[in-house]
Amino acid sequence: MNTLVALCAVGAEKILGNEIKLLGYKLISNAPGRVTFSGDDDALFRTNLCLRTADRVYLQMAEYAAADFDQLFDGVYAVPWQDFLRKDSRVVVDKVRSHKSVLNSEHSIQGMVQKAIYKKLGDVWHMQTLPESGEESDVRVYLDNDRAIVLLDLSGLPLHKRGYRTDGGIAPLRETTAASLLQFMLWRRKTPLHDPFCGSGTIPIEATLYAYNVAPGFGRRFALETLPIFNSRRALEIKRAEAEKIRTDVEVHITGTDIDPAAVQRACTNAEHACVMAGRALNLIDSSAKVHRPDFDVASFSDIQAPFSHGLLLCNPPYGERIGDEAQASELYRSMQSLFLDFKGWEMGVITSHQKFQESIGRYATALKSLKSGNLDTTLYMYTGEEKQKQPKMAKPRSSDARKPRKARANGADRNGRTDRQGQRPARPAKMSHAEEF
């Protein structure tokens, strides 16, 4: 059995752990932003292919006491690196994390680990100098309470890079984060889903892949495929087995809108790419079935109504970090109060880093979930119908029998059918791009 480590956003460890268990692997431990588990040789490829919320997957090469540099060097040297790397591999110690350890200089630790790896390879292959002309192999080191964990990267590019998004626009939401939001909200494929700030379409697309049970890694390659331990024949068998699990017989209602026509065009293009990816996976099992892409439309969130009596609104509106400013974001959130009326009976999830989101939108969330991915601290505000209303001044709800989010209030009318003196719609706060941010 192998010991593997999967990284994720801080706060999503339990979600990732559940995914790993559903694949049939045993959890060992977790720490902020990472989950350690055991798996067979198939797990090296299968977890990269199938995990939706993991950012990377590593193979643990060693764990040992390292209170000084001699111990650090000896532990790395003891690993049979010649079985995992090629003679022309270019080894990069890409990151070091030290916590409550005597060794805390990241630069020095990087240099010592790399020296030990090249020393071992040179001694085994009787080479004074290694060419380093081949594929890059990344190694990561964690030092915690003077114990070292040495990891070999099996993913390559971060796993949120699924391969379907060619244009994310400004500050797009990570695909792995979108997948985590769906799990936090306990979303199921039978529940209608709408994103009123769809941007490049990440949330609806990830929901589509989840609903049809399409493994997210079908559209890309992994660092594992460049290593001598990679079994290409077995990998193809795993791909075919996962393609057999794709559900094309399900009915789903997944939609997105955005005020920016360019963003909607990006969302449509990215969704098409995702569905092509799914189609190629189905071709592996000689199936001509199709996965249908989510529907996108150009509309302001204030001009749409619920197409069903229940569902989930899930969105990543601008929050002033990289799109607009805090004052604009606060004004936007105040105007989002209309969603509670226009989508009455729906649950809602909003991810933002804005500290006064609840104060602005006028309602306390039923539950909060903190997520940290990269350097950005965000909170998922979950509204399930049990929250308290903070500012009860809202317009009366409207009924709707539309089956897609319906545009409303034509001819310049406001929410109550009124117009201003010139027959134009009353002025709104300054427009903000609804492109996704994270």
pLDDT at 414: 42
Nearest Cα neighbor of 192 from 304, 277, 52, 267 is: 304
| pLDDT tens, position by position, 349-394 | 999 998 899 999 999 999 999 999 767 899 999 999 876 565 444 4
pLDDT at 325: 72
What would you measure as the largest C-alpha separation in the chain, in angstroms? 87
Strand segments, DSSP code E, in 282-374 are 295-298, 312-315, 347-352, 367-373
User: Could you please report the per-residue DSSP string of 28-52?
Assistant: EEEETTEEEEEE-HHHHHHHHHH-S
As a whole number, the mean pLDDT across the chain is 89
β-strand 193-195 against 254-258: which pairing, if any? parallel
Residue 105: both structure tokens together: 């200089």
| pLDDT tens, position by position, 85-116 | 999 999 999 999 999 999 999 999 999 999 99
pTM above 0.75, yes or no: yes
| pLDDT tens, position by position, 205-236 | 999 999 999 999 999 999 999 999 999 999 99
3-class SS at 386? coil
pLDDT at 404: 61
CB 361 within 8 Å of CB 392: no
38, exposed or middle or buried, with CB in 10 Å at 0-12, 13-18, 19+?
A: middle
Residue 22: both structure tokens together: 């559903």
* For the ranges 187-201, 323-337, 419-433, the one whose mean pLDDT is highest: 187-201
| pLDDT tens, position by position, 56-92 | 999 999 999 999 999 999 999 999 999 999 999 999 9
How many residues are present in the chain? 438
Those residues with Cβ within 8 angstroms of residue 276's Cβ, 6 or more apart along the chain or in another chain:
164
The upper half-sphere exposure of residue 424, i.e. CA atoms within 13 Å in the direction of its Cβ, equals 4
Q: Convert 177-209 to b/e letters by CB count within 10 Å (16 or more is b).
A: bbbbbbbbbebebebbbbbbbbbbbbbbbbbbb
| pLDDT tens, position by position, 262-291 | 999 999 999 999 999 999 999 999 999 999
